[in-house]
Amino acid sequence: MSVLPENRSETVFKDFKPALTAKQAIVEANRCLYCADAPCIKACPTSINIPEFIRKIGTGNVAGSAKTIFESNVLGSSCARICPVEVLCVGDCVYNEMGVPPIEIGKLQRYATDTAIAEGWEFFEAGPDTGKSVGLIGGGPASLAAAHRLRRFGHRVTIYESRQILGGLNTYGIAPYKLRADAAVDEIEWLMKIGGIEVKTGVSVPVDLSWDALLAKHDALFMGFGLGPDSAMALPGGDLAGVEGAVEWIERMKLGLVDVSSIRHALVIGGGNTAMDAVRELCGLGVQNVSLVYRGTEAAMSGYAHEWTEAKNEGVAALWQTLPVAFEGTSGLCATRCVRLDEAKRPIAGSEFTIPSDLALIAIGQAKIGDLCAGLGIALDTGKVVVGPGGQTTHPKVFAGGDCVSGGQEVVNAVAEGRDAAIAMDALFREGRL
Amino acid sequence: MLSPTKPGFKKPDLTSNTGGIISPNPFWLASAPPANSGGQIMRAFDAGWGGAVWKTLGQPIQNVSSRFGAVGWNGRNGVGFNNIELITDRPLETNFREIYEVKKRYPNHAVIVSLMVETREEWKEIIQRSEDAGADGLELNFGCPHGMCERGMGSAVGQEPKINERITGWAKEFAKVPVLVKLTPNVGDIRPHGLAAKRGGADGVSLINTIKSIIGVDIDTFVPQPIVGNLSTNGGYCGVAVRPIALHMCASLAREPDFRLPISGIGGIANWRDAVEFMLLGSSSVQVCTEVMLKGYRIVEDMIQGLEGWMMDKGFTKLDDFVGKSIPHYSEWGDLDLNYETVAKINPVSCIGCQLCMVACDDGAHQCIHPNADAAIRVPVVDESECVGCNLCQIVCPVQGCITMEPVANGFPTASWNDHVEHGKVLRPKKGAH
């Protein structure tokens, strides 16, 4: 696996949620009520036994705690940082019902898993070789979780990744104040210690390697290729320098350098969580004026309220019910022409105005690229791969999970889907049905 | 809720009389490190303590390093505490000079001098010198369960009623001030030992001294704690964890018809509530050591205010209004009403859905708390037809007042086991005996 570049714009970011010290972790762990049939477990897409791992921190059994986490979620270290715990485990902590601050589950999970990775503790061994082989397309969280679980069962795995570095969104897309690429890569190196996970980077399927070749080589395939490029806005001036896709810009910022020194006004267009990340990233890099431009209302946007609250605290402005209609400038973007929208998102006549802007990041979604595997003849729904139980597609040898199925969810969902597909494949292998 | 202190509202009289030892309030420092020197005791009196039992005088000893150990629970240390310290290590002349100074400056506070020597002549001399220094009372240390007992003193005396009676008799022969005998809890039944002190002429007893204990083991070095080189020894256990044992011993003597002597209660008293409990079970004064060692003399402010507030709330104007008030409510098991029946009621409004009651009842009681039939509701349901009214669910519930134990009007007249055996009274059908 290629190493990360030393110089990356993301390295200026500090953790928005700082790590707990050992002392803080014990105090927090001891607050946990150790609920029976705990709501936090139910709220976790990977169903980590949260009360159990917290109790183990309290008794000083940090290794046992980390094992409990990784048993359910082998990317438990990155998920600890990037999960929207406010709407998952922490949001369902029973202490909320009592008006008492909920347990900081994400921070405790980070404490246990970071300790394990730093100490190099290994909990899992590859199972005895079954002779079965699975090819995984895409090297993001879904494939990594699937590959690790398949190795535990003793199956052979090969990950095909078109980029040079594994990790998918974890490496290329997560806001660096949550997870920097180096931490993502550390976690992947740790999980690779199970051994036997073959990785082919720089391989684009099916361009470099055909589906037929893959099906001939492997007993099953797992589609974990995520989403495609940023959706574009077909507007006048859309090709000006300074108008960019947000995911693409974030990737450059995380893996390389972006120069924002001359940016006085930045706009982020969209109301989802990529937009939330982008505005906070621009602020963090030192851009003075950052505005969110969203066609709907604050209440209607899909970005998490807790993220938007922080963005506002960091100084981000918002233009609600506003739609860009043209990007203006000669050599590069100078201003963005917008129109106000009514409740039905229809332009209000005569409401056009221009706002100065030298950078506009478009965060209105990413392409669904299920067509990539059209050659396999599997069913798709508006570009998303259709799966049944265990992530099985309409092709019996092909499974799928993560954003290429969901159209864009949390990393923790991708981990759960990859893991569960591995369990389903293993069952079919053992029953001789695959 | 405590009554607020109103201007002009008559505060209750906290004056305490324990066998003729008068103090402005019932809160005394126990004979222990916080009462080691005149400087300390004067600071304690300034903080509000009503009396102090001077750290035991005798032939000054040499102490070990280290000396204390503690039991922690859930991150909080000092729930239980032990020590292997012995009696005073300071010259007797120094102690007597300081006793004299304290009494001169604090004539209305009680200074009780704890004593531990061997021969009749030694008792005579040390009692004489204590009284010359101004002692308001004497406490005979027949309780220390470590070190001194190996030399035939402390608990070695307290465990032998005949020796206890004889030495108490000597002390009474020589003393002009009241004599309290401090009893050891390291006996099967406290009553013969209290009665021996009474036969010896004691004016009252103090109890309990510490309980023989090994506080813990260092699981890295394998040496029990507290560690002295590569050895340890059994020490005296105290702190809030011992309170129930002390309360029982206090009550056992308080309700013994042949005893009828004042009691100075000791054992795990950390706040005013604990003090009230001891007084309700017959203590005229209470002595505190561990909580002062852990938190300092300043805790007495809350003890005084809390006691005053509670007394005003209950309409008590002096300590004798309630000392021993709980004794008539302490009976033998055979006199308990077997037809008295309670069942657990869960308040669905305050329930936070932790389901700790359910798991506790399932695994530790009578399997009568079940999940709600509606899976969306996390408030468990009590099967009252099987609930034995054991209190376990109420004990594990983290929400105060959420689970109440409510009496059931079952129509059965009162019937104790003794009533049943002697008079054939009818008992209600058993519950939870499936």
| Of B285, B280, B279, B124, the residue nearest B204 (C-alpha) | B285
B355: nearest CB among A26, A37, A95? A37
Q: Dihedral angle at the C-alpha atoms of B188, B193, B195, B200, nearest 10 degrees?
A: 170
| Of A416, A415, A413, A418, the residue nearest A400 (C-alpha) | A418
Q: Which residues contact B275 (CB under 8 A, 6 or more apart)?
A: B26, B27, B265, B269, B286, B303, B307
| Of B262, B304, B302, the residue nearest B285 (C-alpha) | B262
A36: nearest CB among B75, B356, B398? B356
Long-range contacts formed by B401-405: CB under 8 A, 24+ apart: B401/B347, B401/B350, B402/B346, B402/B347, B402/B350, B402/B351, B402/B352, B403/B344, B403/B345, B403/B346, B403/B347, B403/B357, B404/B344, B404/B345, B404/B347, B405/B342, B405/B343, B405/B344, B405/B345
Position A270 pLDDT exceeds 50: yes
Q: Which residues of A touch B352 (CB under 8 A)?
A: 94-95, 97-98
Q: Which residues of B touch A26 (CB under 8 A)?
A: 75
d(CA B85, CA B67): 6
If DSSP states are collapsed to H, E and C, what string results for B225-261? Answer: ECCECCECCCEEEECHHHHHHHHHHHHHHHCCCCCCC
Q: Nearest CA to CA, how far is A421 from chain B (Å)?
A: 27
Which of the four CATH numbers 3.10.20.30, 3.40.190.10, 3.90.45.10, 3.50.50.60 does domain A243-362 have? Answer: 3.50.50.60
d(CA B135, CA B127): 9
Per-residue pLDDT, B368: 96
d(CA B107, CA A205): 95
Task: Name the residue of chain B whose CA is nearest to A55's CA.
Answer: B74
- Catalytic: B250? no
**Contact pairs from chain A to chain B, CB under 8 Å:** 38
Tell me how long chain B is: 434
Best probe of the A interface among B352, B361, B393, by most A CBs < 10 A, is B352
CA angle A379, A387, A389 (to 5 degrees): 145
B75: nearest CB among A27, A37, A98? A27
C-beta separation of A147 from A159 below 8 A = yes
Does residue B66 have a cis bond before it (omega within 30 degrees)?
yes
A33: nearest CB among B75, B351, B356? B356
Task: Name the residue of chain B whose CA is nearest to A23's CA.
Answer: B75
Fold match flag (A133-228+368-430 vs A243-362): yes
Q: Which residues of A touch B356 (CB under 8 A)?
A: 33-36
Per-residue pLDDT, A30: 95
CATH superfamily label, A133-228+368-430:
FAD/NAD(P)-binding domain (3.50.50.60)
A267-304 burial, b at 16+ Cβ within 10 Å, e below that, comes to bbbbbbbbbbbbbbbbbbbebebbbbbbbeeeeebebe
d(CA A358, CA A355): 10
Distance from the first to the final alpha carbon of chain A? 30
Q: Which two tokens stand for residue B284?
A: 């005229």
The CATH number of the structural domain formed by A17-119 is 1.10.1060.10
Q: Does A353 touch chain B (CB under 8 A)?
A: no
User: Which residue ranges of chain B lie beneath pLDDT 70?
Assistant: 1-9
Q: Which residues contact A426 (CB under 8 A, 6 or more apart)?
A: A149, A150, A153, A155
State mean pLDDT over A341-361: 96
> What does each C-alpha distance from B162 to B134, B159, B342 come to in angstroms?
30, 9, 47
Q: Nearest CA to CA, how far is B402 from chain A (Å)?
A: 11
State pLDDT tens for residues B217-247: 999 999 999 999 999 999 999 999 999 999 9
Best probe of the B interface among A20, A23, A24, A33, by most B CBs < 10 A, is A33
Do the Cβ atoms of B74 and A94 come within 8 Å? no
Q: Locate the domains of chain A by residue range.
A: 17-119, 133-228+368-430, 243-362
Report phi then psi at A211, rounded to 5: -60, -40
Beta bridge partners of A384: A381
d(CA A85, CA A303): 14
Angle between helices A141-153 and A411-430 (to 10 degrees): 30
A33: nearest CB among B351, B354, B371? B354
Residues of B with CB under 8 A from a CB of A: 74-75, 351-356, 358-359, 371, 378, 398-399
Do the Cβ atoms of B356 and A27 come within 8 Å? no
Task: Name the residue of chain A whose CA is nearest to B378's CA.
Answer: A39
Q: Nearest CA to CA, how far is A66 from chain B (Å)?
A: 20
State pLDDT tens for residues A10-42: 999 999 999 999 999 999 999 999 999 999 999
Do the Cβ atoms of B356 and A34 come within 8 Å? yes
Q: Which two tokens stand for residue A132?
A: 């079965």
Q: Nearest CA to CA, how far is A85 from chain B (Å)?
A: 19
Beta strands in A229-367 (DSSP E): 243-245, 265-269, 289-293, 317-319, 322-328, 335-340, 353-356, 359-362
Beta bridge partners of A292: A268, A318
Which positions 9-38 of A are in contact with B (Cβ < 8 Å)?
26-27, 29-30, 33-38
Q: Nearest CA to CA, how far is B391 from chain A (Å)?
A: 18
Segment (H or E) for A143 = helix A141-153
Q: Does A326 touch chain B (CB under 8 A)?
A: no
Do the Cβ atoms of A39 and B352 come within 8 Å? no
State pLDDT tens for residues A155-174: 999 999 999 999 999 999 99
Task: Name the residue of chain B whose CA is nearest to A32's CA.
Answer: B74
Do the Cβ atoms of B378 and A39 come within 8 Å? yes
Do the Cβ atoms of A94 and B352 come within 8 Å? yes
Per-residue pLDDT, A369: 93
Identify the active-site residue in B144, B238, B390, B393. Answer: B144
What's B333-423's CATH class?
alpha beta
Per-residue pLDDT, B74: 82
d(CA B259, CA A247): 85
Please report where in the chains the tokens 């004299």 appear, as a residue.
Answer: B100
Q: Does A51 touch chain B (CB under 8 A)?
A: no
H helix intervals, A10-61: 22-31, 39-43, 50-58
C-beta separation of B164 from B200 below 8 A = yes
A58: nearest CB among B75, B351, B358? B75
C-beta separation of A375 from A356 below 8 A = no
Q: Does A58 touch chain B (CB under 8 A)?
A: yes
Best probe of the A interface among B354, B359, B367, by most A CBs < 10 A, is B354
Q: Locate the domains of chain B by residue range.
A: 16-329, 333-423
Q: Does A59 touch chain B (CB under 8 A)?
A: no
State mean pLDDT over A205-227: 97
Q: Which residues of A touch B359 (CB under 8 A)?
A: 36-37
Do the Cβ atoms of A94 and B353 come within 8 Å? yes
Q: Which residues of A touch B371 (CB under 8 A)?
A: 37
For chain A, the average pLDDT equals 96
What's B16-329's CATH class?
alpha beta
Per-residue pLDDT, B1: 43
Do the Cβ atoms of B355 and A30 come within 8 Å? no
B352: nearest CB among A26, A58, A98? A98
| Of A133, A248, A257, the residue nearest A197 (C-alpha) | A133
Do the Cβ atoms of B356 and A35 come within 8 Å? yes
Do the Cβ atoms of A37 and B371 come within 8 Å? yes
Q: Which residues of A touch B354 (CB under 8 A)?
A: 33, 35-36, 38, 94
